[in-house]
Chain A
C-alpha cells in the first residue's frame, strides 16, 4: 500500500491558517423545518377558530403533527410558554388520523401523502387548519401549503377549504400568501 507523506500538506496547512483567521460573525442559518415551525406558531396568531372548536375558554390551542415528525424538539421549544387569546399552546403527535382528537392546526407530513384524501375527509366537519408541504396538498383539500422557492418558504392558501372549515384567516397572513383557485396546487 502507498503510504503518503504529508510534508506537502503541512506546508499548505500553514498557508490556509491565514484564511481561517478571517473575522466575521458566524451565524448558522435556520433549517427549513425550524422556519416552518415558526410559521405554524404564527398561524395560531393569525387564524380565528369558531368557539365550538374549543371545549371551554381555557382549553389549549393544539398544534398537531400527523405522520413522521420533521420538527423534532423545535416545535415544542417555540410554543413553550406562549399563549393565544389566553389559551396555552400545546403540541401533539399522531401516527394516524384516527388518533387526532382536539386539534386546531394539523401539520400533515409528506409520509401521509397516500392517506391525504382520507385525512381531509375525516376532518371535513371540523375546524382544523391543515398544513402540508408536498405536491398536491391544496389540490386535494389541504388549506395551507409550504412551497420552497429558491431556499425561501412561500405560502399557498386554499381559501375555499378554509371557509369550509369555518376558519377566518387574517389579511396579515393572506397578503403575502398566494391564493390558489379550487382544484389547483
Chain B
C-alpha cells in the first residue's frame, strides 16, 4: 500500500476542515506497511484482522441456503445513498420506493410498506418494529462507507434468526473499528438530496480501536401533482463503535447511535373511509438511539462463546399516533466442534419490549401500554456425512406473548458435486408472529357514538402465520470468468391474516351493538419462484452482474378476506431483471451502471381492486475519479430514463421518483 505524504487540499476541503481544531491527525498517518508485516511471526500474522476483500466469501460458496452478499464496494459503486436503494439488484428482493421517504422491501413476494415477513438486523440488533411488523426505513440511516457487508438470505432463516424471518433475513454488518481509522469527510449535493458526513477513527489502550461519526442528510420531495403536502425529509445521525481485545482470547465491542428526523407525509399513515383523519401538512418527528455491547471469548480452537446485549429506544410522533418503544435484548451463542464431523451452534435469547402508543383522531390501540417478552433458544448441527455431503439440522424454539410456543426447524443438505460446483436442498418451517396492531388495534369505523357501531378490533386469538418452504439451489463456476447461482423455491403458507367481519356483540349496559372487523387466520397461499445471479468478469477491470427474479403467488382466501389476500397477490412484479456493470478505467476512473426492469404490479398495494402499476425500466450511472488515494470525486445520475416514474403505493400516498443527479466528494486521511 502506498502512502501519499502530502496532499494539497482543495479549497472546499480546506473550508470544511479548518474548524477551530485545525487539521486533524493527517501528520500522524501510518499506513500498514508490508515491511511491518514481514517482521511478524506466523502466530502474529494469524492474529491480524484484515479487511476482507473476498470476492466470494468462504461460507457463501458452500452454504445450503440462498444467500447473496452486498459488499462495501458494491454499495459504494451502486451510488446508493440510502439502505433500501443499496439493496436493488439483489436477486429475490423487490425494492420499490413509494415516495421520497418510504420503501417497500420484500423477499419472495408479499410486497407491502410493512414487509412483515422479512427480518432485518443491524449488527444483530433487530430493526423490525413490532407495532407494524416492518421496518421504518426512513430512520435507518447509515454512513454507507462503514457498512462491511449486507447478507441477504432469501427464504426462511427462522431456525437461526427467529420469528418473522419467514421470507428472508437482511443482516447488516458494520466495519470493525480497526478498519475505519483516520478521518473521512464526505459531502453530497444534488438535485434531490444533499448530505455531509464526518467520521474519525483512532486507537486507545494497547489494542483498542474506535470511531465516531456524524451524518446529516436532507432529501427533497418527489413529483406529486395531486397534493400540496410534501414528502421531503431530513435526518441527523451520530454514533460510535469501539472494538478492543481484553486478554488473549476475549474481544469486546461497544457501539451506539442516536438520530433525529423530520419526515413529510403525502397521506396519513392511517385512513378510514368516512372518517376524518389528520388534515393539512403532515410531518413525522422521529428520534431514537441504541447501545449494543458484545463479548466474544475463544474457549479453544474449536469453541467460542459470545454474549451480546442491546438497548434500543425509538420515538415516533406521527400525525396519526405517538409511539414510544423500548427494547432490551440479551443473547448468548456458543459454537463448538466436538469432532471432525460436527459443528454445533446453540444459543439463548431474551427480549423485553415496552411500547406505548397513543392514537390521535381516528387511530387507537388498546391498551395504550404493553410490555411483552420473548424467550427463545436454538441449536444447529452441521454434520459432514462424507467428503462431499454436509447435512445441517437445526431448530428454534421460542415463546412469545402473542402466539405462545413456536417451533421453527430446518433441514439442509449441501453437496459438493465437483470443484466449482455445489448443489443444495432445504426444507424449513417458519412463522410470522402476530403484531401488536393485530392484537390490540381499536379503530372506530363508524363515527363515534353510532349504534350499531362498526370497529376494527384486535383479535386475541389471532395466531401466527405459518410457512413450510422447500428450496433447491445450484452454484456453478462455469468458466474462469463466469459464475452462476440459481435458487428455486416452493412455499406453502397456512393461516395468513385475513380481515373478517366477526359476530356482532351487544353491550347490555349501553345497548350498543358492535360489528367487529378483525384479523383471522383464514387465508392460505402458495408461491413458487426462481432467482438467478450471474457474475461475468470478461477482463480484470470489468465485471458484469446479471440478476433475474421470478415469483408467482397464489392466495386462497377461505373467509371473507375483506382486503388482504387479493391485493398481496399482485403487489410483487412477476419478473425482475437487472444488469450491473463495474468498469475500472485507466487514470483512477470508474464507470458503473445499473439497468433494471420490473414488470407490472397487477394491483395497487392496499387497494383490492382497480388497475395496478405499470412496468418500468430505469438506469443509474456513476462516474468516479480517484484524484489520489485519499480523494474521490464522483458524479451519479439516478433514474435517468424518465422525468418521473411510479414504483409503489396508493395514489394518495405515493410520489413519482424523479430523475436526479448528484456530485460527491469523499476525502480520507
Chain A residues near B (Cβ < 8 Å) = 1-6, 8-9, 12-35, 37-39, 41-42, 46, 67-68, 74, 77-78, 110-114, 116-117, 134-136, 139-140, 147-148, 150-155, 172-173, 176, 178, 181, 183-185
Contacts and interface: CB of A to CB of B under 8 A. Distances in A.
B181 A18 contact: no
Given A25-B28, A114-B480, A20 B200 contact: yes
B50 A31 contact: yes
B32 A23 contact: no
Given A116-B419, A139-B387, A153 B31 contact: no
A29 B34 contact: no
A6 B196 CA distance: 10
A17 B23 CA distance: 10
B540 interface: yes
Interface string B210-224: 101111101111000
B interface, by DSSP: helix, strand, loop or mixed? mixed
Contacts of B28: 24-26
Interface stretch (B38-46, B310-318, B557-565): B38-46
B202 interface: yes
Interface residues of B, number: 85
Contact of B420 (A17, A32, A113): A113
A66 B19 CA distance: 51
Contacts of A29: 32, 48-51, 178-179, 181
A27 B480 contact: no
A77 to B, nearest CB: 6
B652 interface: no
Contacts of B62: 135
B45 A38 contact: yes
A114 B420 contact: yes
B340 A181 contact: yes
A150 B47 CA distance: 10
Contact of A17 (B19, B42, B55): B19
Nearest to A140: B419
B201 interface: yes
Contacts of B181: 24-29
B21 A26 contact: no
A124 B49 CA distance: 34
Given A20-B185, A152-B47, A26 B29 contact: yes
B48 A153 contact: yes
Contact of B19 (A21, A111, A112, A135): A21
B156 interface: no
B503 interface: no
B182 interface: yes
Contacts of A25: 25, 28, 30, 181, 202-203
Given A12-B196, A12-B236, A136 B32 contact: no
B248 to A, nearest CB: 14
Interface stretch (B102-110, B187-195, B424-432, B593-601): B187-195
A125 to B, nearest CB: 21
B1 interface: yes
A176 B30 contact: no
Contact of A6 (B57, B189, B340): B189
B198 A151 contact: no
B10 interface: no
Nearest to B230: A2
B416 A135 contact: yes
B535 interface: no
A16 B34 CA distance: 34
Given A29-B32, A30-B48, A178-B301, A135 B58 contact: yes
A42 B42 contact: yes
Given A116-B419, A151-B176, A26 B25 contact: yes
A150 B194 CA distance: 35
Nearest to A183: B387
A35 B218 contact: no
Interface in B39-73: 40, 42-43, 45-58, 61-62
**Counting chain B CB atoms within 10 Å of each CB, which of A20, A135, A140 scores highest?**
A20
